[in-house]
Amino acid sequence: MVAATDRWVRRHNRRTRWFHAGVYLMTLTLLGTGWWLLAGQEGHPSPLARITGTPDTTLHTMVGWAFVVLAGAGLALGFRAVRTFATESVRFRRTDLRWFARWPAATLTGRFSYHDGHFDPGQRLINLALVGGLFALIGSGAGMASLHGGPVFAVLVQVHIWATYLVTVLIAGHVAVACGVLPGYRGVWRSMHLGGRLDRSVAFRLWPGWSARQEPVSLGAYVLEALDPVETARVEEHLRNCVSCQAEVADMRTTVRRIGKASGDSRRS
């Protein structure tokens, strides 16, 4: 294993970033036109309707179906990524409770509790709620487009409205975090923009376990005290929370002591 020296770490590949961009552009369009219609502005074109020359109801329906196509394509073409997203989002460890306890202060200080997931514990909850809300929007919207009145239609309307409320709150929170409004999350926006190149210090602050797996530390060099102070501090931070690496370091130190003892004995003889 070698210690990483590059300042940057890539968190998301190009396909993931483009999919993310498509989802958010369509979601924001749906929310914008949806809230315009909920406000009783049907018949009064929104700014987006004026720009596109398309009535808000038509625009909302068209983008809704396009969203269905995009979601289907993502599920079909990105099965491995979807599987990773799902398994990482539903994982839970007892240490996650400590992360939540420290989270309010950490949003200001950036001193988040250690976790070993691809997503932090808060992201996992947001992921599940957002996916559920989006599927509720897609399902109820498709049902409303297929029906023209009746009791089922009325239920779907209510589901669609409440799903809109939920997704709006979640998207607003996501945007606030991604834009660095909370000091603890400054720099995170680069993980989905500018080539997905994220500063390593930001990656280790927010996703320490994942970052350590992406850029494995040089445990051998650490045992031999051959790392510079910055890398030494990073290894020690990792070791505080990684039991397997602690055991590996202990084994290496035992081996080094034995080699040293054998070398000393051979010199004396």
Tracing tokens 């460890």 back to the chain, one arrives at: 93
Considering only CA atoms, give the Rg of the chain.
25
Whole-angstrom Cα distance, residue 170 to residue 166? 6
Whole-angstrom Cα distance, residue 69 to residue 241? 42
Give the model's pLDDT for residue 1: 35
Whole-angstrom Cα distance, residue 252 to residue 248? 6
- Return all residues near 22 (Cβ < 8 A) that are at least 6 apart: 70
3-state SS, residue 234:
helix
Residue 266 clears pLDDT 90, i.e. is over it: no
The fold of 12-198 is Fumarate Reductase Cytochrome B subunit (1.20.950)
Residue 240 clears pLDDT 80, i.e. is over it: no
Q: How many CB atoms lie within 10 A of CB 22?
A: 16
Give the model's pLDDT for residue 269: 57
Out of 150-164, 184-198, 202-216, 229-243, pick the least confident. 229-243
Q: What is the dihedral of CA 83, 189, 70, 127, to 10 degrees?
A: 40
Tracing tokens 């989905």 back to the chain, one arrives at: 192
Query: Between residues 231 and 170, which one has the greater pLDDT?
Result: 170
> Which residues on adjacent β-strands are paired with residue 199?
8
Domain chopping of the chain, boundaries: 12-198, 217-268
Give the model's pLDDT for residue 8: 80
Give the model's pLDDT for residue 204: 81
- Of the candidates 154, 234, 155, 175, the residue with the CA atom closest to the CA atom of residue 200: 234
Whole-angstrom Cα distance, residue 29 to residue 25? 6
Outline where DSSP puts E strands in the chain: 8-10, 197-199
Q: Which of 102-106, 212-216, 230-234 has the highest mean pLDDT?
A: 102-106
Q: Give the rounded distance of the alpha carbon of 111 from its chain centre.
A: 18
Amino acid in position 200: R
Whole-angstrom Cα distance, residue 179 to residue 55? 31
Arithmetic mean of pLDDT, 239-265? 76
